[in-house]
Structure 1
Amino acid sequence: MVAPLHSLSINSRILVGTDRCTIRYRGSVLGTSGEWMGVEWDDPSRGKHNGEKEGVRYFDCRLANSGSFIRPSSPKIVLRKPFLATLKDRYVATTAENTPLEHESVILGRSGIEVEAPNLAKVRKRLAKLRELREIGVDDEGVGGMGEGEGEEMKQMGEWKTRGLNLSSSLIPSWEVVALIVQHLEKLDSLILTSNRFSPLKIPTLLPFLKNLSHLSLNDTLIGWKEMLLLEPSIPNLSSLELSSNHLTSLYIDPVSTASSPFPKLVDLRLDFNSFGSWDQLLPLATLSSLRTLSLSYNSLPALPPSIACFPPTLETLHLANNRIPNWESMDVLAEKATGLIGLTVRGNGFVDATPRALVRLGLIARFGELKVVEGSEVTSSERKDSEIYFLSLNPDFPVDKIGRKRWDVLVEKHGAPTNSKSQPSSNAPVLSDKLLNVTIHPPPPASPLPLRLLPTMPLRTLKLKLQKTIGIKAASMRLFGKEAEGATEWEGDRRELSDLGVEEGGEIWVRSD
């Protein structure tokens, strides 16, 4: 049974000032007089304890130290608001009815901006057609459920055309109340419930009014994978799910479930800003048969083990920014375990921070044969060719039994074996040296000239990075010229290839620094 909006019963949601919380206890507290309410704050920093005081347990909290006691008579308490009344206030707010017509005005939503509007009667009539709104937002308004008679009123208004509803930062206490709010929004396909706290589901739950949802946002709700499996019967058409900032440490594996592939239409899953610290905690991801985009940024995920088995074969885009991945060997593992990746984000990991940015991009492109987007930037065909050839020049040999060797073999077959390679390429593979130019590099005096072998397709920025390691001048301050004479024009355009700059067999390049 759904509690009335004015209720201060257990599990009711309220505002205290501007802070949301859930009532977990009502009664006396040892050593005090009068009645108290024990509350669990949405923001744990507002709490003082875990529901225990002086050795007596009064209630439990889902997050550590997020509980405290308040008086039921506190003037700061704000009760839940009805959905439809709040909707009207936000979208049909007008000035007083007795304002003369020529001076009538409308207040735009929550902005408080008052705009003069001639023929306001027509404007008001149009705004009153709430059911015509395609997107509705009553986030952060204290909505807690349906007011008395509001369900019938929404029904009498006719068919609603709303496709998106934002109920973030609300006072809704349960999924049952969510269902009551959306029951007349038959076209609804996107529901945002971020920063809410619902009573946890205990059994598989069927809420038919959610059946058409394709997108569901449950960030900052503390809802985990186990509860999502209980909700699955209600959302058979879900294709996009957000569970970020939910303090998740693992994805639940149901030992008795007969469903081998839950959420069969789920394409996009967001699990950012959680507390995953092991790849084994993510094993259920392998059962998502349609998953194409997975976001795991801002967790604590370590190096990828060769035995990793959490990526479904359908995966195309993976976001791993700001984890604790320490080495390039993890990328070799990923390249063999997620062969269909076309998009990848890895910034903020240890191996990235220890590598020049351009070489990070080069290393990723070379390892992943299908990659089309790296860190949000598209990969060009010439960039792929240069990256693969340069990768071979940096790795003339690759142990046969080391993960990543399969990719090395593919690149050798495609571009030829490095001349100093001890590994045996296939008999018909060309030799990489056949494509290299012999060039003389002239560092600033008193350093001596340096012979190098370079690809004619090498971009200028890649040459600068190579020279940075060779002669010790930072790429950012390096200036390159095709002539020694004073007044020679500096080469510009980091993406320009050496052949475009006129570099040929036996050519010379002069290096200067700022």
Structure 2
Amino acid sequence: MQHVLPATGSRIYLPSGHFGTVKYFGPLDGTTGLWLGVEWDDSARGKHDGMKDGKRYFDCRVPHSGSFIRPSASICYGCTFLQALKNKYVEAVHGTASQEKIVLGSSNGAIEVEAVDLDKIRGKFSNLERLREVSLDNEMVSSGNNPGEILSTCPNICGLDLSATLLSSWDVVAMITTELPQLERLALNRNRLTPPSSHLPASVWLRLSEVQLNGTWTSWEEFTSIAILMPQLRIAELGYNGLTSLSCAKISTVLDRIEILNFDSNKLEDWQHISEALKPCTSLQRLILSSNGIERIPPRGSCPSHLQDLKVLSLSSNKLHNLRDIDQLYEWCPHLETLSLAKNPLSEVNDLSRSARQQIIAKIPSLRVLDATAISTKERSDSELYYLSFVTKTVPGDDEAKMKEHPQWKMLCMSQCLGSTESLLYLPSLLLCARAR
């Protein structure tokens, strides 16, 4: 690890477990010596937003996440990619002895056994050219290596996890990954990366199909500017990024290939805005919107739905409280097959009440799985019969009144009339539907 003073924008790590970004280096009025102005990843570690005694020294993206600390040898400024790789995957040989004593980790030091030819095993694992999947999560990578070194050392990496490192910019990420020609999956969770420069080569992420940017505070606009360089991108994760909207100045045409988007634990509360913003994502099949504070699904009306081909949707841990929202959800997503709604006010404790579950199943004819539980043919039939009975008993008036409150009612009447004579006895109101046919 190097112990030199960092440049502004560098990432640091303290032994206490805190990551931060250097936003200022220099003197403070009224003090002696030099200070580091740091924006901490964990805002609870901060004391201010870069202002001291009325003078601003730096800005913070997250309010109240900054503080000043003295430069210290205990601060970690990171290491190169290959240093981290060798530290984790290359174990030094122990000598010529054919037998070694090792302690079984699961025995808490109580069991010691003899192992034979461990150096041969170490040698096999130290062949970095064989590596396909690499995790350097929390390994403090801060920079690449000299041109060609990574390519000659580990050219066959297909999946790479660089989460919670000291990488400071997309340019540094590109310096590393441009020498990994087989790279398809890249995790950069819990980093803080400045946007890429305009001179990055168009070939930098040609094969990349999955990118994870959870907890990076990457905006939608920043993401779309990066996605331009990822023509094979299919899966993108942007959870825990503080997103309040998905508006952006430029929309990348590459978004039309994305099949899975994960926005878990953001602040995307406006369903109609989400639909409009995802218009370019014409191949989208799965959308994760858990824990975003969504309170309602508005009627679609004349608004075009850009989510009509969606098959998998997670809305768990939001604020949906009205079963009418489910009717409207089906208008927006008529091909929905898998839905998660647990931990909404619609539910009781952690599971949807039986009544609510039956109504949701009846309201969305295309649904096959609800809250990780498959919907059997019998459960669907029972749910639809229950729903029809419920509507008949609780909604006064004629068919038109029932249709207004429950859009699926007439269709289900027709379906039950066609599918089961027993249902006619169970629900006398279905006779009216049958005659209407």
8 Å Cα contact 2:228-2:254 kept in structure 1: no
Q: Partner residue of 2:259?
A: 267
Q: CA deviation at 1:337?
A: 1.6
Alignment CA distance shift 1:252-1:9 (3 Å): same
Partners of 1:206 and 1:231 within 8 A in 2: no
Letter of the structure 1 residue corresponding to residue 287 of structure 2? L
**Rg (Cα) greater in structure:** 1
Return closer, same or farther for 1:287/1:310 CA change in 2, 3 Å cut-off. Answer: farther
Q: What is the match of residue 195 of structure 2?
A: 200
> By how many angstroms is 1:118 displaced?
3.0
1:442 aligned partner: none
Kept in 1, the 8 Å contact 2:210–2:233? The answer is yes
- Answer yes or no: is 1:300 the counterpart of 2:299: no
Match in the other structure for 2:134 = 136
User: CA-atom RMSD, angstroms?
Assistant: 2.9
**1:152, distance to aligned residue in structure 2 (A):** 2.7
SS of aligned partner of 1:231: helix
Match of 1:40 in 2: 39
Q: Is contact 1:94-1:105 (8 Å) kept? A: no
Structure 1 position 362 matched with structure 2 position 354? no
Q: 1:372 to 1:22 in 2, by over 3 A?
A: same
**CA shift in 2, pair 1:323/1:217, >3 Å:** same
Q: Distance in 2 between matches of 1:81 and 1:126?
A: 24
SS at match of 1:414: helix
Tell me how far 1:107 sits from its aligned partner. 11
> Which residue matches 2:283?
290
Letter matched to residue 413 of structure 2: V
Structure 2 letter corresponding to 1:237: Q
Aligned to 2:428: 419
Distance 1:333 1:321 in 2: 17
* Alpha-carbon distance in 1 for matches of 2:37, 2:88: 32
CA contact (8 A) 2:238 2:262 kept: yes
Q: What is the CA–CA distance in structure 1 between the aligned matches of 2:407 and 2:24, rounded to whole Å?
A: 61
Structure 2, unaligned runs of 5 or more: 418-423
Deviation string, structure 1 residues 41-96 (Cα, Å, up to 9, x no partner)? 11111100011112111101111111000112x23311211111111111112354
The one of 316, 329, 333 equivalent to 1:334 is 329
CA gap of 1:187–1:336, structure 2 versus 1, over 3 A, is same
- Counterparts of 2:48 and 2:54, CA distance in 1: 11
Q: Scaled by the length of structure 2, what TM-score is found?
A: 0.86
Q: Quick one: structure 1 residues 311 and 376, their matched pair in 2 at CA, closer, same or farther if it must change by over 3 Å?
A: farther
The answer on whether the counterparts of 1:333 and 1:403 sit within 8 Å (CA) in structure 2 is no
Match of 2:368 in 1: 372
Alignment partner of 1:393: what SS? helix
SS in 2 for 1:165: strand
3-state DSSP class of the match of 1:89? helix
1:65 to 1:19, Cα distance in 2 relative to 1, 3 A: same
Q: How has the CA–CA distance of structure 1 residues 361 and 258 changed in structure 2, closer, same or farther, with 3 Å as cutoff?
A: closer
Tell me the amino acid that sits aligned with residue 206 of structure 2.
K
3-state SS in 2 of match to 1:361:
helix
Tell me the residue number matched to 2:184.
189
Where do residues 56-75 of structure 1 align in structure 2 (5 Å cutoff)?
56-72=55-71, 74-75=72-73
Q: Conserved in 2, the CA contact under 8 Å of 1:286 and 1:309? A: no
**AA partner of residue 274 (structure 1):** N
SS where residue 101 of structure 1 aligns? coil
8 Å contact from structure 1 (residues 297, 322) kept in 2: yes
Equivalent residue letter for 1:410:
M
* Cα distance, 1:309 vs structure 2: 5.5
> 65, 80, 87: which is aligned to 2:78?
80
Q: TM-score, normalised by structure 1?
A: 0.74
Q: 1:401 to 1:235 in 2, by over 3 A?
A: farther
Percentage of matched positions with identical amino acids: 32
Q: Following the alignment from structure 1 to structure 2, what is the Cα–Cα distance between the partners of residues 100 and 188?
A: 37
TM superposition shift of 1:345: 0.6
Cα distance between partner residues in 1 of 2:194 and 2:103: 36
Instruction: Please show how residues 154-303 of structure 1 align to structure 2 within 5 Å.
Output: 154-157=150-153, 160-201=155-196, 208-254=203-249, 257=250, 262-282=254-274, 283-303=276-296
Structure with the larger RCO, 1 or 2 (CA within 8 Å, 6+ apart): 2
| Aligned match of 2:309 | 314
- Gapped runs of 5+ residues in structure 1? 430-514
Structure 2 SS opposite 1:391: helix
**Can you list the C-alpha shifts for 1:356-388, whole angstroms capped at 9, x where unaligned?**
621222111101111110100111111111111
1:377–1:269: structure 2 CA closer, same or farther, 3 Å change rule? same
> Structure 2 vs 1, CA of residues 359 and 312 (structure 1 numbering), >3 Å: closer, same or farther?
same
Q: Could you report, residue by residue, the CA deviation over 1:244-289 in whole angstroms, capped at 9, with x for unpaired residues?
A: 00111110243xx475x54121111110111122224412123310
Superposition deviation, residue 209 in structure 1: 2.5
Inter-partner Cα distance in structure 1 for 2:168 and 2:70: 20
Give aligned pairs, total. 414
Amino acid at match of 1:385: S
Q: Which amino acid aligns with 2:133?
A: E
CA shift in 2, pair 1:356/1:128, >3 Å: closer
Equivalent position SS for 1:419: coil
